[in-house]
Amino acid sequence: MKKFVFPLESVLAAKRLLEQEAKKNLAHAEERLAQEQQRQDALNKEKDHALNSWYELVQNGFRSQSLLQEVHHINALREQIELQHKATEQAWQARNLCQEQLREIFTEVKSLKTLRDQQHEAYLAEDAREQDKVMDEFVSSTSHRAVQMGSRA
């Protein structure tokens, strides 16, 4: 019997390559997300520090110029935080998209592997049937020859 060949092996190989690429993309997306979150955390800490400085100025008697500078700094930080929040959201969305793509590719690869395994099992069952048939024919022809030789004797 000829060797087992899975007709969709090239498709499976291509899907495996896509799976590897999707894993790389996900790793990059997770790295970008972590960086964006770190930037957002740093801005929030800086804003908290600026607010504390502002409170100290108010409590200790303030100079209007110093207080005005702190207010402008805090407002600028709030704007930066808003922009950073949007960048972080985009990084989350990109990561979620990469995860979904990887999940879809993984499902396709798993389906192809299952199909290949089923076809291989069918191939092995057919091979076993053919071997049984050959063996039956051999035994039948051997016993037929023995009967013929016995009737000649």
Quick: pLDDT tens for 3-38: 999 999 999 999 999 999 999 999 999 999 999 999
**Residue ranges covered by each domain of the chain:** 10-112
**Is-contact 33 56, C-beta < 8 A?**
no
Percent of the chain at pLDDT > 70 equals 92
Residue 82 has pLDDT above 60, yes or no: yes
Round to whole Å and give the CA distance between 14 and 21: 11
What size, in residues, is the chain?
153
| Predicted pLDDT of residue 148 | 66
- pLDDT band at 149; cut points 50, 70, 90: low
Round to whole Å and give the CA distance between 119 and 7: 10
